[in-house]
Amino acid sequence: MSIADRLTELGITIPEAPKPVAAYLPFVVAGDLVFVSGQLPMRNGEMTATGKVGRDLSIEQAGDAARTAVINALAQVQAAANGLDNVARIVRIGVFVNSADGFTDQAKVANGASTVLADIFGEAGKHARAAVGVNELPLNAAVEVEMIAQIRR
pLDDT tens for each residue of 10-66: 999 999 998 887 899 999 999 999 999 999 999 999 999 999 999 999 999 999 999
CA distance 52 to 57: 6
Q: Report the CATH number that the domain containing residue 80 is assigned in CATH.
A: 3.30.1330.40
Q: What string of DSSP letters covers 1-53?
A: --HHHHHHHHT----PPPPPSSSS-SEEEETTEEEEEEE--EETTEES-BS-B
Is residue 19 domain-resident? no
Q: How does residue 1 score in pLDDT terms, banded at 50, 70 and 90?
A: confident
Q: What is the pTM of this model?
A: 0.96
Residue-number span of the structural domain to which 73 is assigned: 3-13+33-151
Closest to 62 in 3D by CA, of 42, 41, 38, 34: 41
Give, in degrees to the nearest 5, the angle at Cα 45 between 38 and 90.
35
Does the structure show a pLDDT above 90 at 80? yes
Q: How does residue 114 score in pLDDT terms, banded at 50, 70 and 90?
A: very high
Is residue 52 domain-resident? yes
Is residue 61 domain-resident? yes
Give, rounded to a whole angstrom, the gap between the first and last alpha carbons of the chain. 20
Any residues with CB less than 8 A from the CB of 36 and at least 6 apart, and which? 26, 27, 73, 76, 77, 80, 146, 147, 148, 149
Query: In the chain, what percentage of residues exceed pLDDT 90?
Result: 95
- For residue 139, the one-letter residue type is L
Question: What is the domain count for the chain?
Answer: 1
Cβ–Cβ under 8 Å, residues 130 and 79: no
Cβ–Cβ under 8 Å, residues 90 and 98: no
Is residue 124 domain-resident? yes
The pLDDT of residue 19 is 86
